[in-house]
Amino acid sequence: MIDLIWLGLFLAGVTTAMFTGHMQQVTVSILGGAEHGVELSLALIGVIALWNGLMGIAEKAGLIDTLARVLRPVARWLYPSVPENHPAMGAILANMSANLLGIGNAATPLGLRAMRELQTLNADKETASDAMCTLLAVNTASITLIPTTVIAVRMQYGSTHPTSVVGTTIIATALGTVAAIVLDRGFRAWDKRRRRG
Amino acid sequence: MQAAIATVSNWLLPLLVAGILVAGYIKRVPLYHSFVDGAKSGFGTAIRLLPHLVAMMVAVEVFRTSGAMDLLTQGLAPVMSFLHIPIEVLPIGLLRPISSSASLAFMTHIFQDPKAGPDSWLGQLASTLQASSDTTLYIITVYFGSVGIRNFRYALKVGLLADVASVFASVLAVTLLLGPMP
């Protein structure tokens, strides 16, 4: 998939350049683009380091556990098929908390642990369970409080208010997550009806 | 409402930093050492991004400077204006679920555009779009792959439809806070 997109962007570009006569600019942009990518990732070091450092403190202070306690009723409603004291519930809650805080580095391993725990509850080991589908819906939409990478890139490009996107991001991701949960529930009901025939 | 959200945007980061430091101090966490320890991994994270950003930046630059980008946006302009989505952010919305480096590269083009820039309405929308979704295809592949699930049922459909919903939600959020597109 990623191969096709990468190839597609190049081929579409080079083919268009044959007709528009922009081949000279394309040559420059190949070399310029590479430099651009390096500049951008170097510019990201500061903000990512800052955020990871803060989250190191937050984790040791038990912030993820605190957040997990607050989120427990929500998780019980989202995952009715998971027993309350099952280790899967703990992993799901830790994953939700890490996502909310924008600790992507921590969220993925926690999410994978949740998947392993959910697999122990799954009757058919090759087919996704309801709870697994919900976990993915919530993770791909994921509510974000502080979009760290985007803020860092905005700074790099001379924004005078780099954090001004915090408000719009919270609203957009909250709406997106609601949509994901509604879609998940809707498709689950439709899937159940279809299977019963 | 708009003023309140603007205040939240300005206050959230400083308050969060202060809150984390105070919470850590109360819980007797060694603040400085924990910070430095965590921050170390930031370097690795950013450097791991480097090859992805180089690959995508080059491809996206080629696509844009050749004029292919203009062809695409002109061709789809009527559909997008019908949906009330500014045509300039179309590539971000299309590529976000597949490759966050690719959509990030398109976002920086809006930031570089002297007519737009990061603080313009369009720049804010591009930022919100980039921030408000995740690489759905990658997450689904990795999560299901890690436990050997072959039948994803409806998970992919839900993920991609939710991404479409996120695009509309981003336009709505920016319109709500900054007013309609100028």
pLDDT tens track, chain A, 197 positions:
678 888 999 999 999 999 998 999 999 999 999 998 898 888 888 888 888 888 889 888 888 788 889 999 999 999 999 998 899 999 999 898 888 876 666 788 889 999 999 999 999 999 999 999 999 999 988 788 888 889 989 998 999 888 889 889 999 999 999 999 999 999 999 999 988 86
Q: Do A136 and B20 touch (CB under 8 A)?
A: no
**In terms of Cα–Cα distance, which of A67, A78, A84 is closest to A184?**
A78
Q: Do A56 and B39 touch (CB under 8 A)?
A: yes
Half-sphere exposure (Cβ direction) of B102: Cα atoms closer than 13 Å: 27
Helix (H/G/I), strand (E/B), else coil: B41: helix
Q: Do B12 and A146 touch (CB under 8 A)?
A: yes
Scanning chain A, the segments in alpha helix (DSSP H) are 2-20, 23-60, 63-78, 87-101, 104-121, 130-141, 148-156, 165-196
Minimal-distance CA residue of chain A relative to B96 = A140
Output the pTM of the full model.
0.88
Which of B66, B85, B134, B177 should we substitute to test contact with A (largest number of A Cβ atoms within 10 Å)? B66
Residue B75: predicted pLDDT: 86
Q: Which domain holds residue A68?
A: 2-196
Q: Greater confidence, B84 or B29?
A: B29
Q: Who among B68, B143, B157 is closest to A12 (CB)?
A: B68
CB-count exposure of residue B107 (10 Å: 0-12, 13-18, 19+): buried
Confirm if B133 and B97 have CB atoms less than 8 A apart. Answer: yes
Tell me whether A115 touches chain B (CB under 8 Å).
Answer: yes
Angstrom distance (rounded) from CA B128 to CA A120 = 37
